[in-house]
Amino acid sequence: GIQVEQSPPDLILQEGANSTLRCNFSDSVNNLQWFHQNPWGQLINLFYIPSGTKQNGRLSATTVATERYSLLYISSSQTTDSGVYFCAVKTSYDKVIFGPGTSLSVIP
């Protein structure tokens, strides 16, 4: 089956710093989502981005489907950005495959 990898696994940032999270997938996908899991466990939708680039405030994402990767950019990080970021892809069978996540800690 399709494999989803994320890097880095862990990241510690000073407040105000920028970062790039990467998601690689091993096969063609129908869509791709980025989620943020907050400390209470809720998965928050960040982007639905099967291809192209989207921006939402300090966050933006780019997916290059032909090269099988997606990037999530966080600019001017804040402590509330802490948590785990998941990339999830969906194949033609409607099953979502999650990556292992990147654990982000933003320190004041």
Query: Given candidates 40, 56, 66, 67, which one binds another protein under the rule CB under 8 A?
Result: 40
Query: Which residues sit opposite 104 in a β-bridge?
Result: 11, 83
The residue (of 32 and 74) whose beta carbon lies closer to another protein is 32
With binding defined as CB under 8 A, does residue 101 bind another protein? Answer: yes
Query: From CA 14, how far away is CA 68, in angstroms rounded?
Result: 30
Check if the beta carbon of residue 17 is closer than 8 Å to that of residue 82. no
Query: From CA 11, how far away is CA 32, in angstroms rounded?
Result: 22
Query: Given candidates 33, 70, 77, 102, which one binds another protein under the rule CB under 8 A?
Result: 33
- Which residues lie near another protein (CB under 8 A)? 30-31, 33, 35, 40-43, 45, 48, 86, 88, 90, 94-96, 98-101
